[in-house]
Structure 1
Amino acid sequence: MATAASITSLTPVPASADEAEAWVRGELIRSLMRSARGSYLVSGTLMVGMAALNWSALPRWEVLTWLTAGLISMACRAWAARVYAVRYVGRSALAQQQYADRYAFVWTASAFVWGLSVLLFFERVPQVNQFISWLVIAGVATSPLNGLALHPPLLKRFVNTLFATVLGSVLVRLVVINLEHPQFQYGFLLPILPTLHWYLLLRAGHHIHETARNSLELLFHNHILIKSLTQQRQAAVAAVAMKNRFLASAAHDMRQPVLALSLYADWLRNEPELAPKIVRATHAVNALFDSMFDLARIDSGQVRLHIERVDIAELLQDLELQYRPVAESKGLDFRVHVTEGSFLTDPIRVRRMIGNLLANAIKYTPEGGVLLASRRTREGMRVEVWDTGIGIAPEHLRDVFLEFYKVADHAGTSDGFGLGLAIVARLSHVLGHPVSVRSRLGSGSVFRVALHDADEAVAQARVSAAVG
């Protein structure tokens, strides 16, 4: 059989039901990373400023320890931002989600270090210093809200870690203060303000997220609508072109057998041996009409599918009975290799698909043979039609599945209608049986049909969609 050098595929790619959701999530995380660009520099600068503010009022080792931890956390954020820019910035929505989950700890570490700063200044430095320090923490909690709100899990981790640490530090300081100064009676009121701030940030983050999400969903659906309208316009233009090709090709192809019929009929009185020629001409007209009507029924949505379990061995045996005599009448070797199995499909349509492939293989194989085989692969069962025929050039592999397409100067195409492989392509899409072809010019071809189980509802929906 032929050694394949060129390959093409007609595998249908159904759209995922979660496509919009995944796209929106990915865009939200991309927006988050754009808004967070360079924010670690601001955070690091504020840490240095807070350490300088309280340097003279606290033991220096405590300030240096906290500042070192803070700068390490900022370095981790810078490293994570660099990783994103190098590895994730242009990748899929799933990759964006994986990044957010994998590197969320750097924001958590930053929030934890900022929360620990309360242990340094609360009721340990002058009131002015405390006031400024509280303002800094409030700013650190609020400033990244617009960005972190785009990915709620990250916002919750950051805010929850920050305020849990702040409240824990406040409670520790209150215990120490009450032990040292029992007259300090109103300390229990102090956690109220951070708790309120905590709640308001989460609520505001939720509203920001919903607003951004709705905007992106609208953008996505507008994009899909524009794409759909563009495709429909292109389909309309292609339909007009196809109808023009149909009229031209049908008129040309039908004129010859019909003219032959009329001539043979006139001569029949004097030449009775012309009857077989009339039969062949009639068969040619019928074959053309059958192909055109099959294509028209699929495109008009009038095909009614009947999905049932089909035994591969029986399918190949039926095809062998039909096409072996045709192949042997041309002097071709017709072989069949069967691997047992079954699958769900419409038996009439799948037989038509493979039958068209066999008819083409026999037609374009002047010598040698044709192999009809079923095989079991990792993806499931498939049927293959091999031939040692004239082959197809790489530049024609995709076009041979178009209606009325004939390869120019290709031996054996003059008496064809260019509809057999178009019907195969249509049925492949409807039934969900992807077709691929490999060929080498002058050596032969192999067509493969992947026999995935067909879903009747989905297949019928594809038939109906062809009308639009």
Structure 2
Amino acid sequence: MKPDTTSPIDTAGTQWVEGELVRSLMRTQRNTQLLGLMLIPVFIGVLWTDAPRAALLLWAAATAIMAAARFRVIRRYGREVSGSGAAEHLDFLRRYGFIWPLSAVCWGLTTVLFFDRSPLSDQFVCWLIMAGLAMFSINGLSSHLPTMRRYLDTLALTALAVMAWRMGVELGGHGPGYHGWMVLLLVTFWQVLRQAGLRLHETHRKNYELQYSNRQLIESLTRQTQAALDAVEIKNRFLASAAHDIRQPVHALGLYADWLGSEPELVHDIAPKIVESTKAVNALFDSLFDLVRLDSGKIRLKIEELRLDKLLHDLELQYRPLADAKGLQFRVHAVPGTVTSDPILLQRIVGNLISNAVKYTDRGGVLVAARMTRSGPRIEIWDTGVGIAPSYQKEIFREFYKVPSHAGTEEGFGLGLYIVGRLCNILGHPLQLQSKPGRGTVFRLLVYPTDPRGAAERATASTVNIKATPMPILSEPVEADPVSASSPAGEPALQRGLSY
């Protein structure tokens, strides 16, 4: 026997399948009802001369009323539920499922009219009609197993109850011998129909489960195809950006070299320009190398305790010359204390934030401050730069994104904050952002202690889903005075530019 290779479906899939089974059940009900209405005059014709006519007409009226009630339920389904979801279908059947057992009671009561009260030939015809109705109900109701079972059980038990009353009470157990065989035949036929209905239901269910699995597979393939197309688009955008961004400093290097070769006496003027162009190229390649290490999963973590003040002063030595070259104030306010993190990655995070602050600030200055709060150490990078509009504050953490309205965005790949976001996610350091266009920006890094195992797991997960980069949380309003009143001279002017 061939093994079943169908994978199990989830809870949502199970609900969808149940809803489709109800939908399939309701699609067959109109034809089933028409057949039931056609059988009413057949019964009347067969038993017209055998059964009491008042009882026969009463049965016909009750059965017709029940058929009309089922038609009304079918119309309500088509008007209110047919286009709805699985939950609505299941709720509809819970509310109106009683209509099928009531209909079975009406048909089961026909045995009162013909069992042991009409000629055997007429009884045989009536039993054939009842058997055909029961078999037809399997095709119509097997989509929803509980409904089919309630209908069959009610039909069989009603008929058996009438037969038991006739044989045991009215005849006192002295009826013909074939009565017992008829009861046995009815019970056997009832159980056979239940098993047949179960098998047919399982076929329906497997078909819908296969449809759901195929739909999920198609959706997964669609998502993967879209992801591949997005990757191609990102690659094309990256290649275009890389070609443009690297070409500029490299072209400048070539021009400066030619200029220096033709006019060596200008070495003091040209050499600083060559140095700046070289730094620009190095910065571009650094961001590329960071991205490659993150995406390849080759990033290595070394979690240890490090001094916060030393970290900031090391960064001051690196970035103060950049600020001085633009005529910006550069202040560092560091408090003693230690944090648990990866020193290289933490330095990369804060360094990228400082670099951005210097890059997008043309007047005023940059303040790098560390403070101890009730929730732990916090590093803040304040600037009086161009600021970031609210519509861009989530976008800036996307890969290769550059704010269109920012001057100077032609430099770089748009990877700095993307890398910052991913490193913050790996180290477990939440990043908060608040900014006003034209007034400046504040990044606040909450340096919670890094758990080595959790960081390793997040680093691995980030290579699987590179779009899981956390967005900064817009926190409570930024305080107007981020450092103590004993800050160096010149800092109050910077703070005034950053007040919100």
Same fold (TM over 0.5): yes
Match for 1:120: what amino acid? L
Tell me the equivalent position of 1:114.
103
Q: Which one is further off, 398-407 or 431-440?
A: 431-440
**Cα distance change, pair 409–192 in 1 and its aligned pair in 2 (3 A):** closer
2:138 equivalent to 1:141:
yes
- Indicate if the aligned counterparts of 2:242 and 2:413 stay in contact, CA closer than 8 A: no
Which one has the largest radius of gyration?
A: 2
Tell me the equivalent position of 1:456.
456
| Higher RCO by CA contacts (8 Å cutoff, separation 6 or greater) | 1
Helix, strand or coil for the counterpart of 1:191? helix
- Post-superposition Cα deviations, 1:261-294, rounded to whole Å, max 9, x if no partner, equal 9989999999889998887666545433322221
2:76 equivalent to 1:79:
yes
2:113 equivalent to 1:124:
yes
Give the distance between the partners of 1:369 and 1:270, measured in 2 at CA: 33
**Cα distance change, pair 34–253 in 1 and its aligned pair in 2 (3 A):** farther
Give the distance between the partners of 2:356 and 2:78, measured in 1 at CA: 57
Runs of 5+ unmatched residues, structure 2:
1-6, 45-52, 115-121, 467-500
Give the distance between the partners of 1:432 and 1:68, measured in 2 at CA: 69
**Cα distance change, pair 350–60 in 1 and its aligned pair in 2 (3 A):** farther
Helix, strand or coil for the counterpart of 1:190? helix
2:88 equivalent to 1:99:
yes
Tell me the equivalent position of 2:246.
250
Give the distance between the partners of 2:307 and 2:61, measured in 1 at CA: 80
Give the distance between the partners of 2:433 and 2:202, measured in 1 at CA: 52
**Cα distance change, pair 408–83 in 1 and its aligned pair in 2 (3 A):** closer
**Cα distance change, pair 376–354 in 1 and its aligned pair in 2 (3 A):** farther
Give the distance between the partners of 2:134 and 2:417, measured in 1 at CA: 70
Helix, strand or coil for the counterpart of 1:293? helix
The number of residues matched between the two structures is: 422
Give the distance between the partners of 1:123 and 1:351, measured in 2 at CA: 91
Give the distance between the partners of 2:69 and 2:373, measured in 1 at CA: 59
**Cα distance change, pair 177–118 in 1 and its aligned pair in 2 (3 A):** farther
TM value normalised by structure 2: 0.63
- Indicate if the aligned counterparts of 1:438 and 1:447 stay in contact, CA closer than 8 A: yes
- Indicate if the aligned counterparts of 2:111 and 2:163 stay in contact, CA closer than 8 A: no
- Indicate if the aligned counterparts of 1:36 and 1:144 stay in contact, CA closer than 8 A: yes
Q: Which one is further off, 112-121 or 424-433?
A: 424-433
Tell me the equivalent position of 2:299.
304
- Indicate if the aligned counterparts of 1:163 and 1:195 stay in contact, CA closer than 8 A: no
- Indicate if the aligned counterparts of 1:107 and 1:158 stay in contact, CA closer than 8 A: no
2:188 equivalent to 1:192:
yes
Give the distance between the partners of 1:47 and 1:367, measured in 2 at CA: 88
Tell me the equivalent position of 1:331.
329
Deviation, 1:205, is 1.8
Tell me the equivalent position of 1:204.
200
For 1:296-445, what aligned pairs fall within 5 Å after superposition?
296-299=292-295, 301-306=296-301, 330-331=328-329, 348-349=344-345, 352-353=348-349, 355-365=351-361, 366-367=363-364, 389-392=385-388, 400-401=396-397, 406-407=402-403, 410-413=406-409, 416=412, 418-424=414-420, 427=423, 441-445=437-441
Give the distance between the partners of 1:73 and 1:436, measured in 2 at CA: 61
**Cα distance change, pair 406–84 in 1 and its aligned pair in 2 (3 A):** same
TM value normalised by structure 1: 0.67
Helix, strand or coil for the counterpart of 2:386? coil
Match for 1:169: what amino acid? T
CA RMSD of aligned residues (A): 5.2
Among residues 172, 193, 205, which one is paired with 2:161 in the alignment? 172
Deviation, 1:221, is 2.2
- Indicate if the aligned counterparts of 1:385 and 1:447 stay in contact, CA closer than 8 A: yes
Deviation, 1:107, is 6.0
Match for 1:303: what amino acid? K
Could you tell me the percent identity over the aligned residues? 23
- Indicate if the aligned counterparts of 1:375 and 1:383 stay in contact, CA closer than 8 A: no
Deviation, 1:185, is 2.7
- Indicate if the aligned counterparts of 1:386 and 1:445 stay in contact, CA closer than 8 A: yes
Deviation, 1:178, is 1.3
- Indicate if the aligned counterparts of 2:22 and 2:93 stay in contact, CA closer than 8 A: no
Match for 2:407: what amino acid? A
Give the distance between the partners of 2:329 and 2:457, measured in 1 at CA: 44
**Cα distance change, pair 33–412 in 1 and its aligned pair in 2 (3 A):** same
